[in-house]
Structure formats: structure tokens, C-alpha cells
Amino acid sequence: MPELDLAALPKYTPLEPLPKYSCEPSSDERTLQETPCHSRTVPNGTYIQRSGKISVILYEQESGGGTPRYGRNGEISGSIIIEKPHEVSRITLKVEGKLDTKIPVCGSLSIRLFDHTCISWRKDDGDELSSHLPFSHLLPRSFFYQGSEHDLPPTFSVRQVGFDLRATYSITICVSRARHAMNVFPRSHRVKIPFNYCPRIRPHRPILMNPNFFSAIKTSPEEWYQTSSAMQMRRDMPELGTVHCDLFIPGGRVYSLTDKIPFHVQLNGHTDAFQILMPQPVNGPLIPSRCHKKFPLQDNQLKIKVSLYRQIRAENKGEKSFNNTLIGESEISESPPGICESSSIIHLDWQGEANIKPDVMVGGFIAGNVSVKDFVVLILEPPPVKNDEPSPFYPLQMTVPIRLVTDSFEEVYDYEPPPV
């Protein structure tokens, strides 16, 4: 191959700096098209921690927000302020994350998610140390465990009897000062700052709120997820037929921690079966006439309960341990009875909204040997018959896996384009 003649190459002019960009149009510009979105502004506060002759400043924090907070791919930026820097012989700054589990059944396991040294300064290297030392570090997005890549878990802590699980993150600054003539070892001062790692996630589709379920299920059936089951019987009673239960929840099954999750419960069966499940007063109506009121859970009535549960699983050395916690409850109201094609086969309906407890701050995740999963749980408890004899129907429990995330699906409706 012939050699290239470098002298024949054209000369390139140096690139001009990029202009400053602004999301807002200037006076001689107008917006042609825009995708509505919602984003959080970057906080402009600072977090300051002082310890002895060392002060650590972290930027882009909420003013008065307490523990520092970072999101996915977050950048930890700040400064170290040192008094009498001429006495310092060495400085190190380390950012680390750990996932610790302590469970009697599985034993203890500590997984180091990452351990990064951001600053390493030594006086012996000859560089002069100023009193103001800036630093910046980009958090990793994932880690490896047993050959598989996992997203970093959010800051998380569960401390119960026989179940201790913690995902923690911290910044550690160690400053060593020159030893005096009478000291054998240099004096070291350590500052440790825990921070919260909170990766944000939002659902891929919204929850369409429609007060009329029957209208919504006909016009937009894809917006609802349906699960069905039949109530089992203690003894064979063919004259009662089969009672089917259907539970409807929003189709995405991914909801925010602040969302109210609507649901609809429907029972289908023979009138004779409902006379056992929902005994009525003498000469009372077969179908309840109380509509849109809180269902009175009396001892002689069918008890319907819709709750949200969180299951935490930890695994170590082939052993697994589970922890189930109630994280949300709901109020149920009766829906107006619909039109039944048959006089002997009827259906009864209930609806409500499940609310997540405000102290639940973290969504579900899978990381290393730990998984956190959430479920919608429907429980039907048939009332006893006469003389406290057990109902011929067994209680029914239906469980639907869902995923809880940090942010709500936000969308701008009735968007008007800019005038031409």
C-alpha cells in the first residue's frame, strides 16, 4: 500500500464552542412541536458535614433535606475543606455500596455492590494541597453477582425478628496528618456520610380512572387485567352450582407508590349459593339494595378484603427465607346490581381503591440474593351457617403480582398546539 502524503491533507479550522442551549424559545423563535413531559428540577442546595478540621460539602441537594440523595447514574460532586492543609500527608475519598442479609435460616451474607476510590492524594507525590479540594464521581448503574448483572438496589432496610436486610451506601473521607516527633504513627481522621440511592422508575401506561366499570370494560377491555377463580366446597352440593370470582385491576400492573389502585370484584353463581354466602333477613331482598356505601362486615355476611402485600425473599447457600408484610389496604363499596339474563344465575359486584401506606418509600426490585415483590390479594371469607356450622364453601384467596415504582405516569391531556 502506498504511503499517504500528509502534506496533501486539507487543513481543518478549529471548532467553535457550542452555543448555550435553552429549552425556552428566544424572542425570534417559536415552538413547532413539543412532547409534554414532567421532570424534577435539579436541587440547588448543599449538604455540609463538619468533623474536626474537615468540612465536606455535597452539591445539588435539597435544602434542609437531611440525608443526601442520588438517583440512577447520579453524580456525587462536592468539595473537601481542610484546615491547615500543610499538615496533611494523605487524603482518600471512597464511595461504596453494600447489601447485607442476616437471617438465621440462611445465615449472614454481605455483598459489596461497588467500592470506588475517587481521590487518592499523597504528600510524597510532590503535589501541593490546597485548603479546597473539589471532587466528582459518577455512580455505577449495576453490579455483578454470581456472574449475572443486576441493577443497584435502592437504599432499603428491614429489621424484624429473624429477618435483617439492609442496602446501604456511603461516602468515606480519610485524612492523615503528618506525625509529630513524639508520635510513631500519623494521625488519621475519618468522616463517613451515608446517602440514599433512589433510582426513579415510572409506569409504562397510565391508570384510566372511570367511575363506571361496566362502561370501561366494554369500551377499553385492554385497560383491565382479569384473574378468575372458583370457590371450592367442603362437601359435594351440586344443587348450589359453582360460584366464580373475577378480580379486575388496571392492565399495566405497574403502579406508583402514590397511586390509588382501583379494582372491581364480581361474583357469579346460582341464587341458592348466594343465599348461603349472603344470608338475608326474613322477607328481605335477595340482592342488597345498599349501593355506593361502605360494606358492613358483619359476622353473618360474606367478608371481602382487598389488600396489598410485600414479599421479601433472601437466599444463601441454597436456603430461602420469606417475609410477608401488609403495605396497603382498601375500602370496598357495593356496585349497583347489573342486568342478569337469567333469574337463577346472578352476579354481585364490588369496587374500591387500594392505598399504599405512606411509610412505604421503595418499590420492588431484584438484586443479588434478595428480591422484593408486591401483590394484590383478595380474600373472601364465607359466613358460618346456623349454629356456627362452617360454611359449605371454603375461603378463597386470589393473588395478583404487581410492581410498585417511585413515580406516577404523568401525561398532559387536552394539549393545544401553539398558534400558527
More confident residue, 100 or 242: 100
CA distance 64 to 68: 10
Residue 20 pLDDT? 59
Which helix (H) or strand (E) segment is 398 a member of?
strand 396-405
Residue 55: C-alpha distances to residues 76, 131, 173 (Å): 16, 10, 10
Residue 11 pLDDT? 67
SS3 state of residue 87? helix
More confident residue, 282 or 75: 75
For residue range 223-240, list pLDDT tens digits in order.
Answer: 999 999 999 888 777 778
Residue 413 pLDDT? 40
For residue range 393-409, list pLDDT tens digits in order.
Answer: 899 999 999 999 999 98
pLDDT band at 179 (very low <50, low <70, confident <90, very high): low
Name the residue type at position 260: K
pTM above 0.85, yes or no: no
pLDDT band at 3 (very low <50, low <70, confident <90, very high): low
pLDDT band at 78 (very low <50, low <70, confident <90, very high): very high
Domains 45-197 and 213-280+299-405 share a fold: yes
Residue 38 pLDDT? 56
pLDDT at residue 297 above 60?
no
User: DSSP string spanning 166-199?
Assistant: EEEEEEEEEEEEPPPTT-SS-EEEEEEEEEEE--
8 A C-beta contact, residue 395 and residue 380: yes
CA distance 242 to 254: 32
Counts for the chain of helices (H) and strands (E), in that order: 2, 22
The grid coordinates listed for 361 are: 418509600
pLDDT band at 288 (very low <50, low <70, confident <90, very high): very low
SS3 state of residue 272? helix
Residue 74 pLDDT? 92
Lowest-confidence region among 71-75, 90-94, 163-167, 381-385: 381-385
For residue range 95-114, list pLDDT tens digits in order.
Answer: 999 999 998 888 899 999 99
Q: List the chain domain ranges.
A: 45-197, 213-280+299-405
pLDDT band at 337 (very low <50, low <70, confident <90, very high): low
pLDDT band at 381 (very low <50, low <70, confident <90, very high): very high
Residue 25 pLDDT? 73
What percentage of residues in the chain have a pLDDT greater than 70?
Answer: 81
**What CATH code is assigned to 45-197?**
2.60.40.840
For residue range 9-66, list pLDDT tens digits in order.
Answer: 666 666 666 665 666 677 788 878 766 555 567 788 899 999 888 999 999 998 877 8
SS3 state of residue 238? helix
Q: What is the mean pLDDT of residues 269-298?
A: 58
Let me know if domain 213-280+299-405 sits in CATH 3.90.1170.20.
Answer: no
The two most distant CA atoms of the chain are separated, in Å, by: 107
